[in-house]
Structure 1
Amino acid sequence: MSRGPDAATLLERALRADAASAGVAVTIGQSDMTRWASVSFTGARHTLALVALSEPALDDWVAALPDIDLPMRGHLLADLTVKQVRRAGADTHLLIEALTVEDR
């Protein structure tokens, strides 16, 4: 029986939806998830490579990302860091690292 989408899928969907609400279309080129657990929490570390058209709306969205609150059913976004922003012609390439925690 399926329990629904995993944390990586939920994070990708939430990022795309948030970007769209800011007027930005992002493509997720690569996504990697590593599960982790501590005594108190279970979650995952994520690395995502995104590409978007270079424009002022993108710059505003990227600046707001570290403080973003993304709704993800069954998970909480504990941390999000923009590790790299690289411009290549008309595109901007982003490298994002995030930490999600299962919300029980």
Structure 2
Amino acid sequence: MSELSPRVNSAILPRFIGHMVRIPCKVLTTTDSTVTVQTSDGGEVLVKYSGDHGISTSYAEIIGQVIDQTTVKKAAVINLQSELDLQMVDRVIKSIHDPRFFSTIFS
């Protein structure tokens, strides 16, 4: 079975160091090797990449491996619509990671 990649926000990200995650986010800035994104809870995460970052919209879902508490190494990008209600996304992420539901969803 391949590794699961749960959706996370910046507060939950540190729990997944070394693992693959999905980060629904708003793109803030880009450089030649990094993208800074705003997560659903308003935090900022640095996304490292090589080659093309692949982001073509203001909102995206970054799939990548967590390097440390605020950094992810990009594996893939899913471009999302031009508008995304990050507050609603954050409520869903918090529900998913609620101890009452997490093991049921990811077991």
Interval containing the TM-score (normalised by the shorter chain): under 0.3
**Which one has a larger percent strand, Structure 1 or Structure 2?**
1
**Which one has a larger percent helix, Structure 1 or Structure 2?**
1
Give the structure-2-normalised TM-score.
Answer: 0.23
Structure ID, larger Rg: 1
Give the structure-1-normalised TM-score.
Answer: 0.24
